[in-house]
Amino acid sequence: MTTPIVAIVGRPNVGKSTLFNRLAGKPLAIVDDTPGTTRDRLFSETIWNGVRFQIIDTGGIDPSEGGKDPLSVGSADYISQIRAQALLAVEEADAVVFVTDAASGITPADQEVADLLRRYQKNLEGVHYPPIHLAVNKADNETLRAAAMEFYALGLGTPFPISAVHGTGTGDLLDSLVSSFIVNEEQEEDQSVKIAIVGKPNVGKSSLLNKLAGEERAIVSPIAGTTRDAIDSPITYEGAPITLIDTAGIRRKGKIDRGVEKYSVIRSMRAIERCDVALLLVDATQDISAQDTHIAGYILEQWKSTVVIVNKWDLVEKDTFTMEEYTRQIRQALNFVDYVPVLFISALTGQRVNKVLPLALQVQEERMARVGTGALNRILMKSQDLHSPSSKTGRQLRIYYGTQVRSDPPTFMLYVNDPQLMHFTYQRFLENQLRAVYPFSGTPIRFVLKKRS
């Protein structure tokens, strides 16, 4: 399950930032009585009932949009931008918390925001998405909690009377949020192999998508940043259902513009989270950059399988050793994922593009492979005979036995005398010994250590 995103929206000065701080568990957002204090979006991660999710605090949606009497008096010059960013958050969100004010009752501005939110919902088989959770804030006493029931008139379901300042009622709101994540995950589940095409801006991701799909499904332009959404393209390859995900180029943090581009990068990161195999595109006309390394690192953090695709190979002047030298540079820069296959292509001319999907599906098969317990323990015993673990404070690591507890990615439980005695270098040695017999091409291997007396 990918990390769900919750957007907190509403008209100005209803307590969105106070609720954001309450859910985040720390004062990240500036809270002030002046409407329009929050102009940009703030992000934080929180957890409820074991479910981790991201929350986004947005500026107030001001229905006046720069009219004569804007509600956001503190940000009158930025109303249209604030509104645009709040609606971008709604488009990206898995759930929306619409915050209103119990003391004010339903205002014309609340009604307009409610109508606006309905228009931004995507209709999936009759189900409105993302779900909207109506929070009636500032319900600080019994009278105001009872008055919150009038918000049924907005037509957005059950109102949750809460007090963001005191935390009253937020538990019921969070229970409802988490329940909607689980329902949506079940609705969205499919059996296709998900292949994300990721990389820096302007390395040819959309061109490759179009070649693989056999038609123009994404706009191709030499202008970096043309693709802003993570575009899903279902195809069938030799009977196998595949979902190709084209993503926006991921720049370095300091170079990401506020607004649309920031959301594009979030979508790209989420595409990595939900894919099975990531095709990391690099530009053959440039050296491997720190940003290529950063993206590869994020793929590894999510335990996803990887294929490095070197695009624009047709533009490189070559001799007998050019491919070998470029591969060496890639291996050196990405030495922490030295198990990934490298393929040289040209999305423009179609050179070797026909090998991309077979290689990605082969890597996916490796991702799902299993090693028998007997075979695994023979490798572990041979590894320890070949190279004993170094002792630490007079004690030596002992590996009693191991077993594969899951695939996707391959995960091995090793029963040892003391997990703290396992040094990173020895764990890497064990991984190399295992890969010598079972390559798990393109796929990370995870070891979990468990103490056994």
Cite the annotated binding site by residue number: 10-17, 57-61, 137-140, 199-206, 246-250, 311-314
Write the CA distances from 214 to 82, 204, 244, 301, integer angstroms.
39, 15, 12, 32
Question: Please, is 445 exposed, middle or buried when counting C-beta atoms within 10 Å of its C-beta (0-12, 13-18, 19+)?
Answer: buried
Write the CA distances from 394 to 158, 314, 427, 452, integer angstroms.
63, 58, 19, 19
E strands in 304-422: 305-311, 342-344, 399-406, 411-416
Whose CA is closest to 276, among 360, 199, 340, 369? 360
Between CA 17 and CA 153 the distance in angstroms is 25
**Binding site for GTP, residues?**
10-17, 57-61, 137-140, 199-206, 246-250, 311-314
Between CA 98 and CA 135 the distance in angstroms is 6
Please give the structure tokens belonging to residue 4: 């769900």
Contact assessment for residue 87 and residue 65, using Cβ atoms and an 8 Å cutoff: no
97 forms beta bridges with 8, 133
Please give the structure tokens belonging to residue 323: 């491919």
Please give the structure tokens belonging to residue 431: 């991984």
Between CA 311 and CA 288 the distance in angstroms is 12
Q: What residues have CB less than 8 Å from 42, skipping those under 6 apart?
A: 17, 20, 28, 29, 56, 57
Between CA 98 and CA 233 the distance in angstroms is 32
Contact assessment for residue 240 and residue 347, using Cβ atoms and an 8 Å cutoff: no
Please give the structure tokens belonging to residue 98: 């619409």
The SS3 assignment for 111 reads helix
Total Cβ atoms within 10 A of residue 398: 14
